[in-house]
Amino acid sequence: MNANGITSRRRFVGGLAAAVGCNSLSPFGFPVESSSWSAVGSRGTAAGPDAEYDGMAKLASNENPYGPSETVLKAMNRAWKYSNRYRYPDGGIVEAIAAHHGVTPENVLIGAGSAEILKAADDAFLPDHRKVVGVEPTFETVYRYATNSKAQAIAIPLRADYTANMKEIIRVTKLNARDVGLVYICNPNNPTGNIVPKGEIRMLLESIPEEIPVLIDEAYHHFVENPDYESSLKYVLQGRKVIVTRTFSKIAGLAGMRLGYGVAPREVIDQLRPVTYGSSINALAKHGGVAALKDAAYESKIRQITRQVREKTAAELKSMGYEIIPSDANFFMVNIKKDATQAGEEFLKRGILVGRKFPPMDQWLRVSIGTPDEMNRFMTAFKAIFS
């Protein structure tokens, strides 16, 4: 166990690698980051080509810095033997997801990350210049895919307190009802980290025409402890035209393995399925995903440490006079009152990756919650850059 009570990946993998006789090649060599930027040096040193990236504090992409749980690593290690097969036993990933949510396998569509499901929703529901309605800023991949398919995004600015303006989303959706192919709600929202309260989701679904599909992106669901939040899966069970997306990239620590899914009524899944690739997910990810669904204890441990580290960092920044948006996710936004891109470059010089600029919040920095060590490095750099 390391200082955070989380077992070091290096030790576990070392044991496993030795057991399978491949000491030098460990497929899961993702130790908890602890080396400093200066100690690692730059690309191409004796430390190897990956050393530059490995040595950075990676606070840019809202990942789980501790990696997957041991049960997940073991399940993935067992799945290596299927590397050379097409029709291998896949662990029953679709059935496992369905059982996890009390739906049938026909209600589930898996993708190479939930991004594949977001793209499928755009491809299926936004043909012929149709419109997608959502907030700004949000996880804009949905808008980007929409632009690729020549659809238009109607992005509603956040309210003064950085929350979604649900009344405006409803008004604009109704006004454009004939052209709106999709409503996109990210809950909690990326990049702000705040939730859309359950009452507002209900209001949305009660107010807009039932035939308009609503995609509720719950990538950060597992981090939320806010009593005003609830998952929108209940609307899928009620047969509403709602697609809930989830991912194994965040709390489960499998971003690099690419596994996510959508849950929706069967007829909606039947519209999405033909626009997915169909075989984009590998054997390791499937087996890892099944194990991750069962590992509630690890999930809870990650949620707890993430909250502790987030609150500690936010409190320190607040005590220095910086405004923070209260977050229910594994990242937060801080108003640095300076251009976020320039600040990002300053952090990069110090070996720290932070979130990019999220217009129109140009002076806000999105910071993912890393390990306590990474956050200490972040705070040291923050003080140096903004002194």
Q: Which residues bind ligand PLP (CB under 6 A)?
A: 62, 113-115, 139, 186, 190, 217, 219, 247, 249, 255, 260
Pick the closer one to ligand PLP by CB: 51 or 201: 201
Of 114 and 313, the one with the shorter C-beta distance to ligand PLP is 114
Shorter beta-carbon distance to ligand PLP: residue 17 or 67: 67
Determine the Cα–Cα distance for residues 178 and 372; give it in Å rounded to an integer: 50
Residue 82 and residue 282: Cα distance in Å, rounded?
9
| Minimum gap (Å) between residue 239 Cβ and ligand PLP | 24
Q: In whole angstroms, what is the distance from residue 268 CA to residue 243 CA?
A: 8
Residue 118 or 208 having the CB closest to ligand PLP: 118
Q: Give the relative orientation of helices 9-19 and 70-79 as an angle to the nearest 10 degrees.
A: 30
- Rounded to a whole number of angstroms, the minimum distance from the CB of residue 283 to ligand PLP is 18
Closer to ligand PLP by Cβ: residue 91 or 260: 260
Least gap, CB of 115 to ligand PLP (angstroms)? 3
- Report in angstroms how near the CB of residue 380 gets to ligand PLP at its nearest: 26
Please identify, using beta-carbon distances, which residue of 173 and 190 lies nearer to ligand PLP.
190
CB of 23 to ligand PLP, least distance (A): 31
Q: Kindly report the length of the chain.
A: 387
CA angle 89, 95, 97 (to 5 degrees): 115
Identify residue 246 by its one-letter amino acid code.
Answer: R
Closest CB to ligand PLP: residue number: 113
Q: Report residue 376 as tokens.
A: 């200490």
- Given a contact cutoff of 8 angstroms between Cβ atoms, the answer to whether 139 and 219 are in contact is yes
CB 240 within 8 A of CB 107: no
Closest approach of Cβ 101 to ligand PLP, in Å?
17
Angstrom distance (rounded) from CA 241 to CA 44: 51
